[in-house]
Each structure stands twice: as C-alpha cells, then as structure tokens.
Chain A
Amino acid sequence: MHLRTLVWREFFERKNQLVTGFLAVLLGITVIVSIKNITFYSEKAVARELDALGANILILPKSASIQDYYSADLQDEEFPEDYVTRLILSDIQGLDNLSPKLSIPVDMGGRSFTLTGILPKNEFQAKAAWVGAGIFARPQGCGTVGGPTDGSIPPTQNQPPPQETLVRRTVIDDLGSTEALVGAEVAASLGLKDGSTIDLLGKTFTVTAVLPQTGTVDDTRIFAHLHTVQQLAGKGSVIHAIEVVGCCNEISRGLVQKINRLLPEARVVTVTQIVDTQIKTNRMMSRLSMIFLVIIVLLGGASIANYMYANVFERRREIGTLMALGATSSFVLRAFLLKALVLGLSGGIAGYILGTVLSVTLGPRIAGVPVLPRLVLLAWAVGISTAIALAASYFPARRASRLDPFATLQEV
C-alpha cells in the first residue's frame, strides 16, 4: 500500500461531498475551454477574411471621402511619398506590407482608364486576388492558421516562390520605367496582350503582363512604376494613398490609432464592417472567458476549500490515529494535497473534454466558424484547475497536518 492507495480509496468514500467541488471545477473549466476555443477559431476566421481581402488599411489624404474601398485612392488631394518612409522607420508592429499609389486618369481608344503608379513588389504582395492566378505569392502573415502570427516575417522570404511564377515575379520586381501591367478589362477592350505597346500621356509603355480578372476597379487600371507616373503627373514625389496589409491581431490592438498618431496629417481607414464587428465579438468572448476565469477561481476555489475543510473535520480521528501510528505532519499534508491534485487533474481533463465537445458542436452555430479541438487548451485547463485545487486545499491540508492528535482522539 502507498500514500496514493490511501488517497484513492478515501476519494470514493465521501462521493456526495466530492461531487460539489468537482462540479465547480468541471463547469468552470468547461465554459472557459468552450469560449477560448470558439474565440480562437473566430479570430482565425477574421484573419483569413482580411487576408483574402488583401490590403485592409488605407492611408489617405485628410480630406478624402470613402465611397468605394477599392477606388479610394482616386482622390484629388495628394500627400508626400515620404509618409512611406516614416512608416517603415517607425516601430509600429503589424505592418505586413505597404503599397503607395498615385492614380491619374488617362484616355485610350476613346475610353477612360486609370493609370496607377505602384512600387511593383509591394503592390503585388498586397493583392490577394492576384495570387490565385499564380502571378505572385503574396505573404500570408496576418495571423492565418499555419502562418506567422506577428507579421514580422513574410513567409515568402522563408520559402521559394512557385517555379511557374519565377519569371513573371522577376519582371514585376524589376518593373521598369516603360513597362506596364494592364487590368483584364483594359486588355479586353483594347485588345492588349503580353508584349503589346501602349501610349500614355506621351510615353510609350510595353505591356509586361495582363492581370487576371478581379471583379474590382483594378480591372480598369493600368499599372506602371510609381516614379514614372509621378513624372507624367508632374506633381513631384506625391501619392494618393498607401495600402497597408495590417495584421488583424495588431488592428485589434490599436494599429490604426498608432498610424494616426504617426501621420496626423493623413486619414487612416480600415475595413470596419469586418474588423469592427468581428473584433468586437472576439473581444467580448475574451472578456467573457476572463470573467469566467475569475468566477471559477472564486467559486471553484471556495467550493474546494469548503469541501477540504469539511473533509479534514470529518477525518480528524483518522488523522490522529495515523499520527499515533507514526505519520509525520508532512505525510498528512501530502495526503490532502495529493487528493487536491487528483481533484484538479480530473476536473481539468473532464472540463477540457466537455468544453471541447461543446465548442465543436456549438461553435458553428454561435460564431459561424468551424471549431476543432486544441490540445494546447488541455494543458491550460489542467494547469488552471490543478492550481486552483492545490491553492484552495493548502490551508485545509496544513490545518490537518497541525491537528492535535490528542484532541482528535479524545473528542470522538
């Protein structure tokens, strides 16, 4: 027989009292695991949506009005290109990519199009819609499942681009002063293809690629190097907008406000319809889980402490007898703490299982996202429940170890 035999046998001796303490831990952990699991997958869903959208933050002139997110850069007012440098040199975290743009209207074949100056590599990285066509592998650094979560390392730096995109990528990276990319609608209406030449504002450009259909205003754009377009516009080093791929986690932590503070002369907008509602929901879930954490600590802890004190009181003759037989104080202390450990472990594991089942079942209905089991929550649940059980049992256990054996043997 060992100490654990003694603890295990006693565990089932007073089942009714045990149930209260166990249920308090079980239910608390269940609720927290459910909320944390659903919140996690909800946040990932937001991240995926933002990734799919491409740039999710726009930096515009102060007076700019937003009618259409995709044509928001078609403004009259400009601001200095220097803003890009200020952003790059700042310590703001979560800026996955910056793409400055200057857009001017051009007429070709009796139709009006938009000539947009871009810094090619950045522009392509910011366009999720073009990735599917294999033109460019844009970074997946915005907290998406399986990708870096802090956005500090674009995965494209860690892995080589697909072989079939290499040639075009090189062209895009090196987009020269007379090279242009044309949107699908421009190419269709003017009959342009790779290698065609076009005249824009008195300058001849060679079409290096026809971009695939995106369903946005980009299909009616012609893209050229930003500095070439600036020369053609004759306005100096100015831009209409900076598209930013902001990490959604950082957006929720106030990325927009940080950019606003850095560039007070500019207007910073984000895809509020998605970000605000989803992030508000996620925040609410996080707060709920914190509230439940406090409840479980207070309620679960009080319940276990109460159970343990009652257990010590009921077992005082047994404790006195064990001491008479030669048990030390530390033996008695260990017996009660081991019992608390078993209670915490079993409550944590059962709470994790129940919470996971609940979140997987109810997650799609509550948050509209598929939820899968997460093993990391098992460690978290067991850690919390065990810590609570041990902390709540420490004083009752210490009291047991300090019982006066004479009093316990006399009074019964």
Chain B
Amino acid sequence: MLRMEAVSKHYNHRGQLVKAMDCVDLNVEKGEFVSIVGPSGSGKSTFLLTLGGMLTPSRGSVWLNGQSLYGMASDERAQTRRQKIGFVFQTFNLVPYLTALENAQVPLMLARVDEGSQKRVALSLLERVGLADRLNHKPSELSVGQQQRVALARMLANDPEIVLADEPTGSLDPDTTREITEFFVALNREGRTIVMVTHNQDTAARAQRILWLVDGKLYTAKPKR
C-alpha cells in the first residue's frame, strides 16, 4: 500500500552535507501497524513527512496505492493527503484560535464538506475521544491529553486509510500515553494502516512491526553501535 524505494534526503546545513535519510526502502501493507524507533536526530520526522507527501526526497520515490506521490502536482498531492492520510503530531498543532469542535472541522472544511455535515462528523469524533463536554474550549483551555485527543479527532475527520503519527505520546503523562496508544491500536483494528514514530518502547511494542531508524538508515532489528 505504502512503499519507499531507495529514498534519500540530504540537506546542506551551513556548508555541511546532512544525510537525514540514506537509501531507505520500506513496504507497508494495508492494515499494518508499524512503529519506527530511533534516537533524537536520527531522521524520524523527515522519514514520516517524506512518507506522507510533505517533503520531496533528494532521491528515490514514494508510492501510495501504486501512485508515485512525488510524481503528482503539489495540489494533487495535497488532495491525496486530504483524502487518504491523517497526520498526528507530538505538539498536536491545533489551531489556537479555534475551538475543539472547529479544530476537528478543519479537514472537512478543506474537503469542502457542507457545514452541517462538518459539525455532525466533528461532534461524533469528539464524543468518541471523550470530549463531548469540551466542544467550545480552545486548545489553551484544554490539558495536553485533551489537546492530543482533539488532534486525533481532527485526524479522523476525513476517515483516512493511513495514519502517520509523529511521537504522538511524546508530550503526554504515562496514563494518557496508555490511553492514546490503545486508541491507535483500536484504529488499526478498524483496518487503518498506521506508521508511528516513537521514542516510547512500550508504545512501539503494540505495533505489528518495529523498525529502527539510525543515522538516516532503516533497520529491521536494533543495530549495534
């Protein structure tokens, strides 16, 4: 379903070449739950954003359902993201001046869904994540765990096939981490494909497959250093 072929991403940082990803190959099947584990600066975020069509690789290609993501025009790629991919971020990235309900409506607004349907879908998703009583709260009025749940509701708004999560439990306390992890497991059971970048070994262990990303290279087993 989701495939990376010899993907490399190189930066030139103050005259020095930085290899964020170095000839990465990956094949994720439909309905699979994959965890990517690695130390800070290993290129995990670069990997995830490249996989999600947000960052053009220096070399190689990324395929989604047989279509080259970076062979598409940028607006077509945005449309693909809107329809098929859901992003979750460590810092939640909620729009600060919108309420929980409105934040969950954003992907639906971008997909030009009518306002009534937007509210209906957003409301049911917020109920699902246990925030039915926080609809009109702004992010600053919510706890970090609640903010991440709003972000999860937003991610699900367009019913994506693929969920790409970048350290989704990185800012959360242990109890909330467990809750959110279980939520991802539940999403996977619904048939969604999940690729999660995480530091947390316990969270990673809930995936069907764990991969290690070290110095821009992907390993199927933890590499010895």
Complex interface bits, A326-358 against B, C-beta within 8 A gives 1, otherwise 0: 111111000000000000000000000000000
Asked if A326 and B49 make an inter-chain contact with CB atoms under 8 angstroms apart, the answer reads no
Asked if B79 and A1 make an inter-chain contact with CB atoms under 8 angstroms apart, the answer reads no
Complex alpha-carbon distance, A329 and B95, angstroms:
18
Asked if A326 and B102 make an inter-chain contact with CB atoms under 8 angstroms apart, the answer reads no
Asked if A324 and B87 make an inter-chain contact with CB atoms under 8 angstroms apart, the answer reads yes
Complex alpha-carbon distance, A13 and B98, angstroms:
10
Complex alpha-carbon distance, A318 and B97, angstroms:
11
Q: Which of B31-39, B108-116, B206-214 contacts A (4 or more CB under 8 A)?
A: B108-116
Complex alpha-carbon distance, A292 and B201, angstroms:
66
Asked if A326 and B79 make an inter-chain contact with CB atoms under 8 angstroms apart, the answer reads yes
User: Which label, helix, strand, loop or mixed, suits the secondary structure of the A interface?
Assistant: helix
Asked if B93 and A330 make an inter-chain contact with CB atoms under 8 angstroms apart, the answer reads no
Task: Give chain B nearest CB distance to A331 CB in angstroms.
Answer: 7
Asked if A329 and B75 make an inter-chain contact with CB atoms under 8 angstroms apart, the answer reads yes
Complex alpha-carbon distance, A324 and B110, angstroms:
11
Q: Which residues of A contact B46 (CB under 8 A)?
A: 406, 410
Q: Which residue of chain A lies nearest to B106 when distances are taken between CB atoms in the complex?
A: A325
Asked if A1 and B102 make an inter-chain contact with CB atoms under 8 angstroms apart, the answer reads yes
Q: Which residue of chain B lies nearest to A5 when distances are taken between CB atoms in the complex?
A: B102
Q: Which residues of A contact B115 (CB under 8 A)?
A: 1-2
Task: Give chain A nearest CB distance to B195 CB in angstroms.
Answer: 14
Asked if A329 and B74 make an inter-chain contact with CB atoms under 8 angstroms apart, the answer reads yes
- Residue A276 lies at the interface, judged by CB distance under 8 Å to chain B: no
Task: Give chain B nearest CB distance to A13 CB in angstroms.
Answer: 4
Complex alpha-carbon distance, A303 and B74, angstroms:
32
Complex alpha-carbon distance, A13 and B140, angstroms:
13
> Which parts of B84-132 form the interface with A (CB within 8 Å)?
87, 89, 91, 93, 95-98, 102, 105-111, 115, 118
Q: Which residue of chain A lies nearest to B83 when distances are taken between CB atoms in the complex?
A: A326
- Number of A-B residue pairs having CB atoms within 8 Å of each other in the complex: 84
Complex interface bits, B38-57 against A, C-beta within 8 A gives 1, otherwise 0: 00000001100100101100
> Which parts of A179-208 form the interface with B (CB within 8 Å)?
none
Q: Which residues of A contact B95 (CB under 8 A)?
A: 6, 318, 321-322
- Residue B78 lies at the interface, judged by CB distance under 8 Å to chain A: yes
Asked if B106 and A1 make an inter-chain contact with CB atoms under 8 angstroms apart, the answer reads yes
Q: Contacts A325-B87, A331-B110 given; indicate if A409 touches B78 (C-beta within 8 A).
A: no
Q: Which residues of A contact B158 (CB under 8 A)?
A: 326
Q: Which residues of A contact B217 (CB under 8 A)?
A: none
- Residue B149 lies at the interface, judged by CB distance under 8 Å to chain A: no
Q: Which residue of chain A lies nearest to B79 when distances are taken between CB atoms in the complex?
A: A326
Q: Which residues of B contact A326 (CB under 8 A)?
A: 78-79, 81-83, 107, 110-111, 158
- Residue A155 lies at the interface, judged by CB distance under 8 Å to chain B: no
Asked if B97 and A327 make an inter-chain contact with CB atoms under 8 angstroms apart, the answer reads no
Q: Contacts A1-B118, A327-B110 given; indicate if A13 touches B54 (C-beta within 8 A).
A: no
Q: Which residues of A contact B192 (CB under 8 A)?
A: none
Complex alpha-carbon distance, A13 and B102, angstroms:
15
- Residue B199 lies at the interface, judged by CB distance under 8 Å to chain A: no
Complex alpha-carbon distance, A395 and B55, angstroms:
23
Task: Give chain A nearest CB distance to B53 CB in angstroms.
Answer: 9
Of A6, A324, A328, the contact of B75 (CB 8 Å cutoff): A328
- Residue A9 lies at the interface, judged by CB distance under 8 Å to chain B: yes
Q: Contacts A324-B81, A324-B87 given; indicate if A330 touches B109 (C-beta within 8 A).
A: no
Complex alpha-carbon distance, A317 and B139, angstroms:
15
Q: Which residues of A contact B75 (CB under 8 A)?
A: 328-330
Asked if A406 and B109 make an inter-chain contact with CB atoms under 8 angstroms apart, the answer reads no
Asked if A325 and B96 make an inter-chain contact with CB atoms under 8 angstroms apart, the answer reads no
Complex interface bits, B127-158 against A, C-beta within 8 A gives 1, otherwise 0: 00000000000000000000000000010001
Q: Which residue of chain A lies nearest to B98 when distances are taken between CB atoms in the complex?
A: A9
Asked if A412 and B154 make an inter-chain contact with CB atoms under 8 angstroms apart, the answer reads no
Task: Give chain B nearest CB distance to A354 CB in angstroms.
Answer: 29
Q: Which residues of A contact B54 (CB under 8 A)?
A: 323-324, 405-406, 409
Name the 10 nearest CB pairs between A and B, nearest first: A326-B82, A321-B93, A406-B55, A13-B97, A324-B87, A1-B105, A328-B78, A326-B81, A328-B75, A9-B97
16 A-B residue pairings within 8 Å (CB atoms)? A6-B95, A318-B95, A320-B93, A322-B106, A322-B110, A324-B54, A324-B89, A325-B87, A326-B110, A327-B78, A329-B74, A405-B54, A406-B49, A406-B55, A409-B49, A412-B91
Known pairs A320-B93, A409-B54. 10 more at Cβ < 8 A?
A2-B109, A12-B97, A322-B95, A325-B81, A326-B79, A326-B83, A327-B78, A404-B55, A409-B49, A412-B91
Interface residues of B (CB under 8 A from A): 45-46, 49, 52, 54-55, 74-75, 78-79, 81-83, 87, 89, 91, 93, 95-98, 102, 105-111, 115, 118, 154, 158
